[in-house]
């Protein structure tokens, strides 16, 4: 078995108070029986309300951990539209993906969100492999599973991708026409950013980073240690000094306010061989389904949504919806922004499912 070396160890203190850029932030104590860490999360299944159902299924030989949410007064003998929800890079089903799954279930949808293969509570070794082909197959497989779930009308299947899951969602929808409508929230084009750097900040080091990834794969293939990228664990003071909203607020969200032990930014260095040669915004003209792309008006990631949206020339009833005043990470948790996004998603799915 290969040994795993972390460049920087991630430590999770589950019950302490921290200050990030002047804001008091409390780390979540995982007392929720489903380990959900979002605000207003289900703590027990109650008759007549939204219920949560932990489910597993396989992708090849890997066991995938998922949560299915059923709407109030769910009757398996009836038929309901369903929505597949793909989580952000580094995220797990118990965070923002679960929040939107629960909120959409409140509006009458059966929803599913699952940990990506090799990530979270799902199987796969080495841990935290992050390859586009895997993430896209995760989405296809969620559709496979939920299409046969009791009460699901497989002819009314929608898709929602959040952050990196949004980039993988538009790519999955290009070929998978089971999805009758596609939506993204704060879409992140993982390939573009891993290749070019965030906001094209690393164009001069592409070849150097490809060489590093190649060497990491060679080391893995020889049975050596698995090398990881994305393992930084900054202090509160360091987080506060990060100039970009995405990473400053992202560290606070994932490592402070909505932390979960299965969630981490790290990924195998060798994954960059696949990530850096991939791009979510290619072949967007293959999407002929209705398309809704949501982003915060202050999101420093907005350029990725704008680029992909412009290329979706054959999408039906396509719409770009901006949440005024929201940054990328604020669409994950801030109540007024989440409510705006949910309301827009419900209107979209009601029209297009």
Average pLDDT per consecutive 10 residues, the chain (353 residues; last block may be shorter): 31 32 43 96 98 98 98 98 98 98 98 98 98 98 98 98 98 98 98 97 97 98 97 93 97 96 96 98 98 98 98 97 98 98 98 96
What fold does the segment set 37-218+273-352 form as a domain?
Rossmann fold (3.40.50)
pTM above 0.75, yes or no: yes
pLDDT the model gives residue 30: 66
* Tokens (6 digits) for 315: 């999408």
In tens, the pLDDT along 23-68 reads 334 444 568 999 999 999 999 999 999 999 999 999 999 999 999 9
Query: Of 177, 185, 191, 188, which is closest to residue 314 (Cα–Cα)?
Result: 177
Q: Determine the Cα–Cα distance for residues 35 and 323; give it in Å rounded to an integer.
A: 29
Half-sphere exposure of 182 (CA within 13 A, CB side): 33
Structural contact between residues 141 and 67, judged by C-beta atoms closer than 8 angstroms: no
In which region does residue 59 sit, left (phi positive, over 0), alpha (psi from -120 to 50) or beta (all else)? beta
In tens, the pLDDT along 270-296 reads 999 999 999 999 999 999 999 999 999
């Amino acid at each position: 078995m290969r040994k795993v070396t972390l460049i920087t160890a991630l430590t999770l203190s589950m019950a302490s108070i921290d200050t990030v850029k002047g804001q008091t932030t409390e780390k979540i104590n995982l007392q929720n029986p489903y380990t959900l860490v979002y605000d207003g999360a289900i703590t027990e299944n109650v008759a007549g309300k939204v219920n949560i159902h932990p489910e597993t299924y396989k992708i090849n030989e890997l066991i995938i951990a998922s949560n299915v949410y059923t709407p109030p007064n769910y009757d398996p003998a009836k038929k309901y539209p369903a929505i597949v929800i793909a989580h952000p890079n580094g995220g797990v089903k118990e965070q923002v993906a679960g929040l939107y799954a629960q909120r959409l279930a409140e509006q009458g949808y059966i929803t599913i969100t699952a940990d990506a293969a090799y990530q979270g509570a799902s199987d796969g070794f080495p841990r935290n492999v992050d390859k586009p082909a895997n993430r896209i197959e995760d989405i296809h497989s969620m559709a496979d599973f939920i299409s046969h779930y009791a009460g699901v009308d497989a002819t009314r299947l929608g898709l929602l991708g959040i952050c990196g899951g949004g980039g993988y969602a538009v790519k999955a929808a290009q070929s998978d026409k089971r999805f009758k409508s596609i939506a993204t929230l704060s879409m992140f084009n993982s390939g573009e950013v891993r290749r070019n750097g965030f906001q094209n900040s690393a164009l001069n080091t592409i070849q150097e980073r490809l060489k590093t990834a190649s060497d990491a794969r060679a080391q893995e293939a020889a049975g050596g240690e698995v090398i990881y990228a994305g393992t930084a664990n900054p202090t509160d003071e360091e987080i506060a000094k990060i100039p970009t909203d995405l990473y400053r607020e992202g560290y606070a969200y994932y490592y402070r306010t909505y932390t979960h032990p299965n969630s981490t930014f790290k990924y195998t260095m060798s994954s960059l061989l696949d990530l850096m040669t991939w791009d979510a915004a290619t072949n967007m003209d293959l999407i002929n389904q209705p398309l809704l792309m949501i982003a915060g008006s202050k999101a420093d990631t907005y350029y990725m949504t704008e680029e992909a949206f412009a290329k979706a020339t054959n999408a039906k009833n396509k719409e770009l919806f901006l949440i005024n005043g929201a940054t990328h990470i604020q669409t994950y948790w801030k109540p007024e922004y989440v409510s705006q996004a949910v309301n827009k998603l419900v209107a979209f799915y009601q029209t297009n499912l």
